[in-house]
């Protein structure tokens, strides 16, 4: 098998010890370096305005420098050892290109206000940060020790991760527009009272407000059949880890974001509370999918944990249509949808019947085109007998 096919097209776990992991790291860092240099050169188009305001450019230059050195060193090492020469050559080529485009000393481009943009910088920084933090946590307290970092279908979920990040700017824009068009609806006296609340109380209320919307939206995604077709994409992951949560239909990603953020904006919570909420949600959303054995003792009845959300993703019988909450587990106890099982962790994940196709494009088209269960069955890559949505 060729280098590229091995790395990009394969849907199996990657064998270690052959230099493929270091090739993948080297290639990814080299490619991210080029994207980073481009974001430096064309910040108006390729950087996210909310992030841009907070950058420490000097630190980012050091990060870029480190990424290029590591990518280059690993590429040279693999070339010398004769391992994955094509990948190593390509990685080295990307490092050279990053340097030609300006490298760590690249001049920051012009920055006109209010231009349309795609959040390339958000993707680059979040991929680097998330993979470092969450892979560390997963190695520190693994739930399924035998599961490799590059588990089956990681490529598909990485594409979801990329596209989600690129459309986040669009989503925020849409939410702002929707809220703006409803702006008259906001209640000044509610707003005035919220501003006087202590930060933590306010933060709790944002989480509660978000989770009440999120709970019922999520429940609708499961219980209304045409909505389930969209949400099934998120449930189609058969291995859980930090990257698996990225798998989502864009319709759901954008729709849910608007539904959750609209009341928060309308009620008029203070800006710093909303910012804190967005950062914490970003962490929790990834953490709850991670391959990590985290229990919170009795607090598990209050907060959503990886254990709670892993049960939501299970296709074990007692887990079907349970554990909808995203932040507060008590909502499911309150509304009678908490999963009850005789063992701490579920056995299997995914959709009963396993009919959601593999691959990013097919998964985005799936809700509109219908099931491809027959094709999948023919490919022989399925885990269960064909079934309906749930059994
Ligand atoms: Zn769900
Ligand atoms: Zn999930």
Q: How much is the pLDDT for 223?
A: 93
Whether 131 has a pLDDT exceeding 80, the answer reads: yes
**pLDDT classification of 152: cutoffs 50, 70, 90:** confident
**pLDDT classification of 331: cutoffs 50, 70, 90:** very high
Q: How much is the pLDDT for 184?
A: 55
pTM: 0.74
**pLDDT classification of 11: cutoffs 50, 70, 90:** very low
- Nearest-angstrom CA–CA distance, 360 and 346: 26
Over range 359-386, report the average pLDDT.
62
Q: Where are the domains of the chain?
A: 3-117, 163-379
Q: Which of 104-108, 118-122, 371-375 has the lowest mean pLDDT?
A: 371-375
pLDDT digits over 275-295, tens only? 889 888 988 999 999 999 876
For residue 247, the ligand closest to its alpha carbon is: 2
- Nearest-angstrom CA–CA distance, 204 and 381: 44
pLDDT digits over 295-327, tens only? 677 888 999 999 999 999 999 988 899 999 999
**pLDDT classification of 234: cutoffs 50, 70, 90:** very high
Rg (the chain; Cα; Å) = 22
Whether 267 has a pLDDT exceeding 90, the answer reads: no
Q: How much is the pLDDT for 388?
A: 37
- Nearest-angstrom CA–CA distance, 121 and 40: 9
Over range 10-30, report the average pLDDT.
71
Q: How much is the pLDDT for 218?
A: 95
Ligand 2 centroid – CA 206 distance (Å): 20
Whether 60 has a pLDDT exceeding 60, the answer reads: yes
Whether 386 has a pLDDT exceeding 70, the answer reads: no
For residue 248, the ligand closest to its alpha carbon is: 2
Nearest to 347 by CA among 243, 233, 240, 246: 240
Ligand 2 centroid – CA 238 distance (Å): 12
Mean pLDDT, all residues of the chain: 82
Ligand 2 centroid – CA 220 distance (Å): 15
Ligand 2 centroid – CA 242 distance (Å): 10
Q: Are 258 and 174 in contact (CB under 8 A)?
A: yes
Q: Are 307 and 344 in contact (CB under 8 A)?
A: yes
- Which of residues 2 and 42 earns the better pLDDT score? 42
Q: How much is the pLDDT for 10?
A: 46
153 secondary structure, DSSP code: T
Q: Are 155 and 8 in contact (CB under 8 A)?
A: yes
Whether 387 has a pLDDT exceeding 60, the answer reads: no
Ligand 2 centroid – CA 189 distance (Å): 36
Over range 365-381, report the average pLDDT.
60
Sequence-ordered alpha helix ranges (H) in the chain: 3-4, 20-41, 43-46, 49-52, 57-81, 85-100, 120-140, 154-181, 188-196, 199-223, 225-235, 250-267, 271-287, 306-312, 330-335, 360-369, 373-379
Tokens (6 digits) for 288:
């709850």
**pLDDT classification of 115: cutoffs 50, 70, 90:** low
Ligand 2 centroid – CA 55 distance (Å): 30
Ligand 1 centroid – CA 321 distance (Å): 7
Whether 12 has a pLDDT exceeding 70, the answer reads: no
Ligand 2 centroid – CA 240 distance (Å): 9
Ligand 2 centroid – CA 263 distance (Å): 22
Ligand 1 centroid – CA 101 distance (Å): 44
Phi, psi of 127, rounded to the nearest 5 degrees: -65, -45
């Amino acid at each position: 098998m060729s280098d590229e096919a091995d790395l990009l097209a394969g849907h199996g776990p990657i064998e270690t010890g052959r230099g493929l992991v270091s090739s993948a790291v080297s290639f990814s860092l080299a490619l991210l370096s080029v994207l980073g240099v481009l974001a430096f050169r064309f910040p108006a188009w390729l950087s996210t305005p909310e992030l841009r305001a907070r950058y420490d450019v000097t630190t980012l230059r050091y990060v870029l420098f480190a990424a290029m050195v590591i990518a280059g060193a690993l590429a040279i090492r693999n070339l010398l050892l004769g391992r994955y020469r094509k990948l190593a050559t390509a990685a080295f080529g990307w490092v050279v290109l990053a340097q030609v485009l300006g490298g760590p000393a690249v001049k920051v481009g012009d920055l006109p206000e209010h231009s349309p943009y795609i959040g390339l910088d958000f993707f680059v920084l979040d991929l680097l940060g998330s993979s470092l933090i969450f892979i560390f946590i997963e190695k520190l307290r693994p739930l399924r020790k035998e599961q490799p970092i590059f588990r089956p279908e990681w490529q598909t979920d990485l594409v979801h991760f990329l596209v989600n990040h690129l459309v986040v700017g669009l989503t925020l824009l849409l939410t702002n527009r929707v809220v703006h068009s409803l702006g008259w609806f906001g209640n000044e006296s509610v707003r005035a009272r919220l501003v006087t609340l202590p930060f933590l109380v306010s933060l709790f209320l944002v989480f509660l407000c978000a989770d009440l919307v999120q709970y019922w939206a999520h429940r609708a995604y499961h219980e209304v059949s045409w909505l389930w077709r969209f949400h099934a994409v998120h449930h189609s992951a058969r291995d859980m880890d930090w990257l698996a949560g990225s798998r989502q239909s864009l319709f759901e990603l954008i729709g849910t974001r608007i539904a959750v953020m609209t009341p928060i904006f309308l009620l008029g919570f203070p800006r710093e509370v909303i910012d804190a909420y967005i950062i914490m949600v970003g962490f929790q959303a990834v953490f709850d999918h991670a391959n990590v054995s985290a229990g919170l003792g009795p607090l598990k009845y209050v907060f959503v944990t990886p254990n709670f959300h892993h049960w939501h993703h299970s296709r074990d019988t007692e887990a079907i249509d349970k554990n909808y909450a995203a932040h507060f587990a008590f909502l499911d106890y309150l509304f009678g949808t908490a999963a009850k099982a005789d063992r701490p962790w579920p056995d299997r994940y995914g959709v009963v019947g396993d009919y959601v196709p593999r691959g990013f494009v097919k998964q985005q088209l799936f809700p509109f085109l219908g099931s491809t269960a027959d094709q999948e069955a023919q490919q022989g890559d399925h885990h269960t007998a064909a079934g309906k949505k749930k059994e």
